[in-house]
Amino acid sequence: MALTKDEAIALRRLDYSETSQVLVFLTREHGKVRAIAKGVKRGTKSRFAVGIDLLELGHVVVSARPGGGAELATVTEWKQVRSMAGLRQRLARMHAAEYAAEVTAALTEDWDPHPRVFAALVGLLDDLCQANQVFDRLVDFQRELLDEIGSLPEFAACLTCGRIPEPDEPVHFSSFEGGLLCRDCEPAHVEKRELLHGCLSILRGQPGHPTSQVAAFDILNYHIAHLMGRNPTTAPVLLATASPA
């Protein structure tokens, strides 16, 4: 049985039996890893006996059969590096972090390395620990995740005719088409969302007003939901806490 050592963040935690839980980690070099942690104390569902909290950064050692991607690995060691305690000081930070964990787990494959997504997630969690506004950082993370998995939409020009929309032109976004639709091409498409004013520049990676950041988050989440085949369960909770200054 080979041992795999890596930096990791626990994205999900599932009860497996009275004394065991299954963790879904994102690791820096090995991608998403599912592993069972044995010896959890009865009745303490909020914390592992071995001390693994959701969304904290740590060093993990798991045993896994070489090439046995579908097999559950076993956690043999966990050492916390950063607790990310700041997340727990504000509900919006925690909801934002839970959203990032959910979509990362849904859009990556087991043992498929994405070091850039890992670095982006650590950077996001570090920033969220001190953030007042969460949506600007979340949009950056959505863009990085989508870019890394090859699904970042095209926001420069209309996907149908190639025209670059006028600055104040109403534009739509189609998840199925994977990008912008100009006002001339939009009527021919059924699946689409209208972009609110100020949203497009943020989707292109530029700064913007907090209200527009929420709108940009919503558009990218619409696309992510399309890729996942369902709306992330954490998205409505997060949007409900949106309180732009």
Binding test (CB under 5 A) with Zn ion, winner from 161, 164, 227, 240 = 161
- What end-to-end distance do the CA atoms of the chain give, in Å? 53
- Does residue 171 touch Zn ion according to CB under 5 A? no
Q: By CB under 5 A, which span of 60-68, 72-80, 158-166, 214-222 interacts with Zn ion?
A: 158-166
Q: Which of 222, 234, 217 is nearest to 193 (CA)?
A: 222
* Residue with Cβ nearer Zn ion (24 or 185): 185
Q: How far is the CB of 184 from Zn ion (least distance, A)?
A: 5
Nearer to Zn ion, 54 or 158 (CB): 158
- For residues 155 and 78, what is the distance between their CA atoms, to the nearest angstrom? 42
Among 24, 158, 171, 220, binds Zn ion (CB under 5 A): 158
Instruction: Return the number of the residue (84 or 185) whose C-beta is nearest Zn ion.
Output: 185
Whose Cβ is closer to Zn ion: residue 131's or residue 181's? 181
Q: Name 87's Cβ contacts closer than 8 Å, sequence gap at least 6.
A: 55, 93, 94, 97, 125, 128, 129
Helices (H), the chain: 91-107, 115-128, 135-148, 199-203, 210-228, 234-240
Q: To the nearest whole angstrom, how small is the minimum distance from the Cβ of residue 160 to Zn ion? A: 5
> 């990676």: which residue's tokens?
205
CB count in 10 Å sphere of residue 101? 23
Q: How far apart are CA 144 and CA 187, in angstroms?
A: 30
Only one of the segments 39-47, 92-100, 127-135, 152-160 lies at the binding site for Zn ion (rule: CB under 5 A); that segment is: 152-160
Question: What mask, x for binding Zn ion by CB under 5 A, covers residues 107 to 146?
Answer: ----------------------------------------
Decide if 179 contacts 155 (C-beta within 8 A): yes
Question: Residues 174 to 193: which contact Zn ion by CB under 5 A?
Answer: 182, 185
Q: Applying CB under 5 A, what is the total number of residues that bind Zn ion?
A: 5
Residues that bind Zn ion (CB under 5 A): 158, 160-161, 182, 185
